[in-house]
Structure 1
């Protein structure tokens, strides 16, 4: 019998290598950036994906708006081919970017096939598989070391998100942001190792009945992904919300035995910490993932520092992922379920 997690663990642990390979790949695909992102004729860029890829799309669109200062949205792929009038109203020029690890997701392919013939739409994509159906249908950025054996996305999510953010920084001419991303790639291996050592005892020593992830801005998509990761791997009940939005009704579910994991930004730090303090008063175990700890975080039950406080929140995004992925992995192992092959799931979803 094969050991549980034999694919997922090394794939989480190898993401730093995947980030550095993505930077090399971007140099080789510089024409993709010029062709698709440096384009004054595009009124709106639409990122589409399904599941984890949709959450990537949310993070990508957020950084696109912040760094390029242009309109961008993100939709589930199915919304684009089934509800086009709501997602791509006429009289605008669109760039639709498909996001898919495998490049074989039926919904992404159907969406791109549906809109590619339209005169006001251009299509592109990002994937880990250069010979995939999506790569043949649309010009794709490729994360060469994002390929995975496990069903769940880990290093593929990190490397594709990182690759697109780097492409956006290039397109925007934001050398400072690109240099920060290069620094992320250099420090990610240390963060991965530190996250592994931090998360395992946290899971071993506690018994969380439900988990809530909170994040704002680009971190909202990451919070959704973190929620999906622990749900896929371990079947534990979990949800994700915008940090301040959680106070408007959903906080009623907080009680002892609840883990509230807050992805702390520097931009909204003071406001977000007020929410975290309130959740602790309700009995939650509060875990903060942050660039830096301080006197203002001392109230929390656990604080994991990723570093990079001098960076923008957006550039620092993927440094938050290792701890969140290990949280899913070690929770699965504690519950004696295999994170490599979650029940009811396959690596590629087809209709």
Structure 2
């Protein structure tokens, strides 16, 4: 995987392909390339393990009106030029592919037996050779039919784009498990894994559904199923937020997105004046029998779900279970038809979470809800109810504003479930809404702490390891802080509930081990102070984000940044922001590629 761009036009599309790849760079990649059918009706390509900027330099003389391009994040084979996409079969077929072909080894052996030679270690090359085998054996060559005959042989997840040397003017795509969109231009059409790639050249688009096959020419788009039956798919405008994504005055997208959080949260809260089931498109009757919540998520979204468990059980009195989506469907679980299954994802295309959702539905879980940033995503289409977080396009691989807006959506969920009447204490609805509406202002006050965080980051850049501590609903915030630090600075970081220190992790503490502590003024503060003393007694360096009224004083080995105000249940949303800033500025001090950290991709669309 990572990013696909394809175009078929009546003009040279090389610059469009390169531009599309550059707009997908944020997803992370280790190589990139493009291929066109040139003026002599020959396949011509360029590939590199460097950045898209180098590919641009290498393709200035290339010309073609039909082409495909790709940024690769390695799954099969090392990041090198031979393994970079597009892959060719002879001089006839070119293919780009996101996903994983699970039966590629048996297909590879079969194709070698037929005389095909492999030049890469990838699973993608089997697709090119299978299409070639079907295509070259036809009396009347038909690229669409050759691809259609290939698809049943492929087991796994994929989105593909295919071109043929002797059929200029046609581009074929297909999807099963990985996202793919069609975008419509004037006398040209586009194929991409993300509409962002070609939004500058198109005003409308179609999201392909699972099992769609599509044939594009400059003047037409034909969508069909794998049986070849013509299908109708909705054509919709390209969202304005997709059409324009600029860095502006910021040094990195991650920094921009950290500072966009007040606006993103305000947009997510919207004009909500009262808590009601229609926030999620539901009614009281729809949810009246719910007696449990099961939340499925991965990575950062999983940590937002862990915070939500505290909120839902405390505010609504509804038992809540949080599962790592990539583990859930591989164990025997006990389904509860009265449970609300909630899936949380920034992209709505996270492969593990989608698979977990489908598994839950197969077990009889009919009540499903998506909390997601992309309204048109597979996750939003496959759940009964939905909530869009309205964070706007998030470019940085390390999630920031998507996380905090997920927390807002999950807080709305906790308050809504409280209306089922199982709440252990009365819910004062207006008070909660007022505090939500004050969040953007509170966040701006937290962002003003950036200069103090920068000073800490200069010290953190000297460390190789770090511990993060939190208690209660701030333990998942410690987990998120540790994840951010290791994602973009490559400093090894782990998080623990502070009470667990003496059960093992304390053995790691010495003067070389910074211990970041999330210290809100809540019921667990005195317990947390005792845990901090355990660190100080072993010579550890404490870096404490403390509420202004937490009465934690700076001293030798204890560094304190004071948060502007105590924010009660919503405190996790405030406390995570300085942890984001700490990770960002530490990475900046170390000179890492902040927006595109090594080995990571923005949207994990394969298992």
TM-score, length-normalised on structure 2? 0.54
CA drift at 1:183: 2.3
Please give the root-mean-square deviation of Cα atoms over the aligned residues, in Å.
2.4
CA drift at 1:26: 5.1
CA drift at 1:140: 1.8
| Greater radius of gyration (CA) | 2
8 A contact 1:243–1:275 mirrored in 2: yes
- What residue number does 1:202 align with? 456
- What residue number does 2:498 align with? 243
One of 299, 302, 305 as aligned partner of 1:57: 305
8 A contact 2:468–2:515 mirrored in 1: yes
One of 396, 415, 420 as aligned partner of 1:150: 396
Give the number of the structure whose residues are more often helix, by fraction: 1
Distance in 1 separating the partners of 2:592 and 2:251: 9
Q: State the SS of the aligned residue for 2:545.
A: strand
In structure 2, the gaps of 5 or more residues are 1-50, 54-246, 419-426
CA drift at 1:118: 4.0
Q: Is residue 2:560 matched to residue 1:306?
A: no
* CA shift in 2, pair 1:319/1:69, >3 Å: same
Q: Which has the higher contact order (CA 8 A, sep 6+)?
A: 1
Distance in 1 separating the partners of 2:283 and 2:451: 41
* CA shift in 2, pair 1:66/1:183, >3 Å: same
Distance in 1 separating the partners of 2:432 and 2:410: 13
CA drift at 1:294: 5.3
Q: Is residue 2:252 matched to residue 1:6?
A: yes
Question: Between Structure 1 and Structure 2, how many residues are aligned?
Answer: 345
Distance in 2 separating the partners of 1:297 and 1:240: 23
Q: Is residue 2:446 matched to residue 1:191?
A: yes
- What residue number does 2:592 align with? 337
CA drift at 1:303: 1.6
Distance in 2 separating the partners of 1:347 and 1:26: 30
CA drift at 1:21: 0.8
Of residues 279-288 and 4-13 in structure 1, the stretch that sits farther from structure 2 once superposed is 4-13
One of 320, 326, 335 as aligned partner of 1:72: 320
Give the number of the structure whose residues are more often strand, by fraction: 2
CA drift at 1:18: 0.8
Distance in 2 separating the partners of 1:26 and 1:33: 12
After superposition, the C-alpha distances for 1:93-132 in whole angstroms (9 at most, x for unaligned) are 2111000000010011111112224444411110111111
Distance in 2 separating the partners of 1:198 and 1:118: 50
TM-score, length-normalised on structure 1? 0.91
- What residue number does 1:288 align with? 544
CA drift at 1:43: 2.0
8 A contact 1:166–1:178 mirrored in 2: no
- What residue number does 1:275 align with? 531
Distance in 1 separating the partners of 2:551 and 2:358: 53
After superposition, the C-alpha distances for 1:247-274 in whole angstroms (9 at most, x for unaligned) are 2111100111211111113111111011
8 A contact 2:294–2:322 mirrored in 1: yes
After superposition, the C-alpha distances for 1:136-185 in whole angstroms (9 at most, x for unaligned) are 11132111124301111011111111232134234424423333232223
* CA shift in 2, pair 1:212/1:302, >3 Å: same
